[in-house]
Chains A and B, each alone.
Chain A
Amino acid sequence: MQSSAARALVAIVAVAIVVVGFVVLRGGESGGSSVSRTTTTEPDKRPASGGGEPDEEQPAGDAAVPTVLVEDGQPAGGVAELVFEKGSTIAFVVESDVAEEIHIHGYDIEREVEAGGRTELEFPAEFDGVFEVELHGTATQIAELTVTP
C-alpha cells in the first residue's frame, strides 16, 4: 500500500461498498416493512365493536379495534402490545373490572374507566416511540404502545 494510486483505489472501493451497502439494505427494509407490521390501523377506521381480543394478533385492515382487558387490576394475558404507524389514528378500548384512571405516557392522555365499564381511546399518532399505558392508581402497566415512523 505504498503508492498513492493504491491508496486511492482502496478508498474508492471502500466508499463504493459503503454506498452500495446503504442502498441495498435500506431498499430491502422498505420492501419488507409493510408485510411485517401486524396491527396498523387505518386513519378512518371507526371502532365497530368491542369484541376484539386483547392482543395485537389481528391482520392489518381488520376493522376491529384492539381491546385491553383488565381483570383484578391486572392486564389479562399480560401487557398488551399495540402497534400503530405515525400519522395514523391510535384507537383502542380498555375494559376494566375496577374503577381506574388510564394514563398514556408521552401523549399524556388520562381517561377514567368505571368498574365493569369500558372506555374508547382515539387520538392521532403524532410522535414515534414506545410508550407505556398504565393504570394511574396502582401504576400497573397494561399495554405497550408502539408508534413506528
Chain B
Amino acid sequence: MAAVLATAAMVAALLPSSASAHALIGKQDLPLPEWLFIYGSLVILVVSFVGLLLGWREPRFEGTRSRPLESLSGVLLSRPVGALCGAIGVCLLVLVVWTGLEGTAAPDRNFSLTFVFVTFWIGLVVLSVLFGDLFRAFSPWRAIGRLASGGFSKLAGQAAPAPLRYPDRLGRWPAAVGLLAFLFLELIWGQSGFAAAGITPRDLAVATLVYSLYTFIAMGLFGVERWNDRGETFSVLFGMFASLAPVSVERGRIELRKPLSASTRWAALPGSLAIVLISIGGTTFDGAQEGVLKDAIASLFRTLIDAGLTPLTSQRVASGLFLALVLVTVASIFWAGILGMRIVERKLSARELSQAFAHAFIPIALAYVVAHYFSYTVLLEQAQFTFLLSDPFGDGSNFFGTASQGIDYGAISANTIWYVQFGAIVIGHVVALALGHDRALVLWGNTRDAAWSQVWMLVMMLFFSMLGLYLLSQANG
C-alpha cells in the first residue's frame, strides 16, 4: 500500500512537468487565441484560392542564374578566414563537452544545453535561411577532418583517397537517422520529471563525444566533403534551410541568387524527403506533447508504470511511441497527397512525384520552427549572451561581468509572439504554394494541368498550416 502511494505521488510529481527543453526557461507562451486561429485559417484559405486562380504561367524559381560577389569571396573564402571559422567551431565544441562534463547539473545554468538546443539548433536555422550555408564554415567536425586530411597529404606527399566509395543509394539517409536520434535526445531522452526535466548536461556531453567519434570515423571512410554533404546530420539539415537563402557558395565563389531558387535542386538525393518530413514531425511532436497529446502520453505513461516499468523508461517509451506516431501521420498525409496527384497525372510514378515536390515543404518546416521556438529563442539568447557566457560552468565565475544579468521575461509580449507565429505560418504556406506551383509548371508545362495537380498539393499544405496553427492554439510551449 505504501509502495502504491509512493508511486502515485511520484506519478503526480512527474506528470505536470512540461516538455524537456523547457527546463531551460521559466515561462510558457499563452496559447494562440481562438479568434486568431480562425482568422489564420481564413487567411490561409483565401491566399490558397487566390494563388490557385492567379498563378503565374512561367516557372520563376527554377533558374540557376546568380551573380558572383568577387571581392567579398576573396576575403570570406580565404584560407585564414576559413581557419578562423573552423577554430571557432572547434572551440565551441570543446566548450560544450567541457561544460557538460564539468559544469553544474542545473540545466538552465549550464552553457552546454542552451547552446546546443537553442543557439546552435534553432539559431543556425534562422542564420542559414538569411545568410546561406554558414555551418559549412563553422562545422568543427569538417574543420578537424580537413586539417587531418591536409596533414596526411603533406606527410605522404599525395592526397589521401577515401578508402570507401560512398554508395549513391544511401543519399541523405544517414543524416535522416541522425536527425531522428537528435530529436529523441532533445525531446524524450531525459524526461525524468523531477528537478531537471530534460537531458542532463553530462548526457549531452557524452552524446556529443559519441557523435563526434562517429563523424570522424565516417569522414575517414568516405571522405570529409562527401560525408559532410550527405551523411553529417547538421550539415545536411542546415544546408536544407540554407537552400532558401539568397546567398550560396558555388565553384569557390560567393554568389547572390534569387531566394528559394536553390531549394528546387535540393531534394534530388534519396533520403531528402525524409529529412523534410522528420523536421516537420519533430516540431509537431514538440508542440503536441504540451497540448493535444499531453493526456494521451500521460495515460500511456501510467499504463506502463502499472506494468512495472520505471518512470524514466515509461516516459521514454510513451513519448517515443507518440513521436513515431506523429512522424507516421506526417508522412501519411504527404503520401496521400502524392497519390491523389496521380489521379491527375499518370506519367510520373509516386516516387518521382514525391521527389519533385519534397522541397516545397521546406518553407513549412521553417515556419514550424519559427512559430514554435520564436519566443523561447529570444528569451534564451538573453541567457546565452549574459550569464551563460560569463559563467558557463555555473560555478560563480564572471568572465565578462554579465553573470548577474538574467532573462527579461517582459522583452516580448504575448501579442508580439502571436503575430510572429501567425505570420510565420501564413508566409510559410504562401512560399510553399509558390514553390509547388513553380514545380508543377515545369512538370506539366501549362497552367491548367499545373493548377489541377496542385489541388492535391494545396490540400496537403492547408493541412500542415492549419495543424500548425491548431497546435499553437492548444498549448504554446
Contacts and interface: CB of A to CB of B under 8 A. Distances in A.
B446 interface: no
B17 interface: yes
23 contacts: A10-B54, A14-B47, A14-B49, A18-B42, A18-B43, A21-B42, A25-B36, A25-B38, A25-B39, A26-B39, A29-B35, A72-B9, A74-B12, A108-B26, A127-B409, A128-B30, A128-B414, A129-B27, A129-B28, A130-B30, A131-B27, A132-B18, A132-B26
Interface size class of B (residues with CB under 8 A): 20 to 34
Interface in A124-149: 126-132, 138-141, 144, 146, 148-149
A17 B39 CA distance: 10
Interface string A47-85: 000000000000000000000000010100011000000
Given A72-B9, A74-B12, A130-B30, A107 B409 contact: yes
A127 B35 contact: no
Contacts of B12: 74, 78
A127 B53 CA distance: 44
A22 interface: yes
A149 B30 contact: yes
Interface residues of A, number: 36
Interface of A: 1, 7, 10-11, 14, 17-18, 21-22, 25-26, 28-29, 72, 74, 78-79, 105-108, 126-132, 138-141, 144, 146, 148-149
Given A1-B54, A106-B409, A139-B195, A74 B26 contact: no
Contacts of A146: 30
B7 interface: no
A149 B13 contact: no
Contacts of B29: 129-130
A102 to B, nearest CB: 14
B100 to A, nearest CB: 21
A144 to B, nearest CB: 8
A126 B42 contact: no
A141 B9 CA distance: 12
Interface in B104-162: none
A141 B15 CA distance: 10
Given A28-B35, A130-B28, A7 B54 contact: yes
B16 interface: yes
Given A18-B43, A72-B9, A74-B9, 17 more contacts: A1-B54, A11-B50, A14-B47, A18-B42, A25-B35, A25-B38, A29-B35, A105-B26, A106-B27, A106-B409, A107-B26, A127-B413, A129-B28, A129-B414, A130-B27, A138-B13, A139-B195
B19 to A, nearest CB: 12
A7 B414 CA distance: 37
A138 to B, nearest CB: 7
B126 to A, nearest CB: 22
A25 B41 CA distance: 12
Contacts of A21: 39, 42-43
A146 B415 CA distance: 15
Contacts of A22: 39
Given A21-B43, A74-B13, A79-B16, A105 B27 contact: yes
A74 B15 CA distance: 13
Contacts of A127: 27, 409-410, 413
Interface string B1-22: 0000000010011001110000
B46 interface: yes
B412 to A, nearest CB: 9
Contacts of A141: 16-17
B463 interface: no
Nearest to A135: B13
A129 B413 CA distance: 8
A147 to B, nearest CB: 8
Contact of A148 (B13, B30, B47): B30
B68 interface: no
A146 B476 CA distance: 12
A144 B476 CA distance: 14
B406 interface: yes
A127 B34 CA distance: 21
Contacts of B400: none
A149 B413 contact: yes
Contacts of A29: 33-35
B214 interface: no
| A-B complex: 7 closest residue pairs judged by Cβ atoms | A105-B26, A127-B410, A106-B26, A130-B28, A29-B35, A128-B414, A25-B35
